[in-house]
Amino acid sequence: MNKIQTFQDFLATQSVQVPVAGFILNLCLAAVLSFVLSRVYARYGVSLSNRRMFAKNFMLITMTTMLIITIVKSSLALSLGLVGALSIVRFRAAIKEPEELAYLFLAIAIGLGFGADQRVITIVAFLIICGITMLRKRYHSSGENQNLYLTVATTGTEKIGLGRITESLKKHCSAVDIKRFDESADALEASFLVEFNTFSSLEEAKSDLRKLNDSVRITFLDNKGVL
């Protein structure tokens, strides 16, 4: 009987008062760190998606995670209830690249740390991770100067060759690096990492490419923004 009573007491929801001052402090710290994380991701990330729009979710995810952990950490029953709720509600996010998932995990980890009231270890770990990320980006030389993804495609029997496309780009780009090349009997598609120093250089390159063939299709995808 005592064992059953002990187990019931263990599962019982305990009415633990969370210190309001400490909770507000942790919430503010979580907001600050998630904001810094969003700026780091927007500046040092390499994902092709709109990083600034994606990074806006970090603060909400971090603060929500902290609120949940603060509430359920004092009760096993609430923790089990949270697991059951999450098994019913399915969260589906369009994660296109592993880097996006890594930053999401870091945002959740910040919320977990402050929710568990582990301020010092959370801040230290966050600073170290961000420092390593910035140093890696700074000293990583491969593809660092390219600031646009360019795709050139042509169709028809009079499709232009890869050599003519490359020569045309070299006139206006400070860096050209081919990443993909597909060719068939009636179509050609080439993808490049390129760097333009000015908007006028971009416009001139686009005009020269269109002069090569009337059927040419050009797609520019922003990576870091034109300088």
89 pLDDT above the threshold of 60: no
Type of residue at 98: P
Q: Which residue has the higher pLDDT, 68 or 144?
A: 68
Asked whether the predicted pLDDT for residue 84 surpasses 50, the reply is: yes
Q: What is the DSSP string of 120-156?
A: HHHHHHHHHHHHHHHHHHHH--TT-S--EEEEEEEES
**Mean pLDDT value across the chain:** 78
| pLDDT at 202 exceeding the cut of 70 | yes
- pTM for this predicted structure: 0.57
Task: Kindly report, residue by residue over 18-39, the tens digit of the pLDDT.
Answer: 788 888 999 999 999 999 999 9
What confidence category does residue 73 fall into, taking pLDDT thresholds of 50, 70 and 90?
Answer: confident
The pair phi, psi for residue 90, each rounded to 5°, is: -100, 125
| Model pLDDT, residue 169 | 85
3-state secondary structure of 177: strand
**What pLDDT does residue 80 have?**
61
Task: Please give the CATH number for the structural domain made up of 148-222.
Answer: 3.30.70.260
Read off the tokens for 200: 């006028």
**If DSSP codes are grouped into helix, strand and coil, which group holds residue 160?**
coil
Task: Enumerate the H helices of the chain as residue ranges.
Answer: 2-11, 20-44, 51-55, 57-72, 76-88, 98-115, 119-139, 162-170, 199-212
Question: What was the pLDDT predicted at 130?
Answer: 92
- Both tokens of 216, joined, read 């040419």
Q: Where are the domains of the chain?
A: 18-139, 148-222
- Across 168-179, average pLDDT: 82
Most confident of 8-12, 78-82, 148-152: 148-152
Helix axes 119-139, 20-44, angle to 10 degrees: 10
Q: What is the pLDDT of residues 35-67, one digit of tens each?
A: 999 999 988 877 766 778 888 889 999 998 898
Reference 227, options 129, 145, 122, 127; nearest CA is 145
For residues 121-144, give the mean pLDDT: 81
Residue 23 or residue 144, greater confidence? 23
Instruction: Give residue 122's pLDDT.
Output: 94
Q: Which two tokens stand for residue 132?
A: 């390593």
Tokens found for residue 113: 């740390």
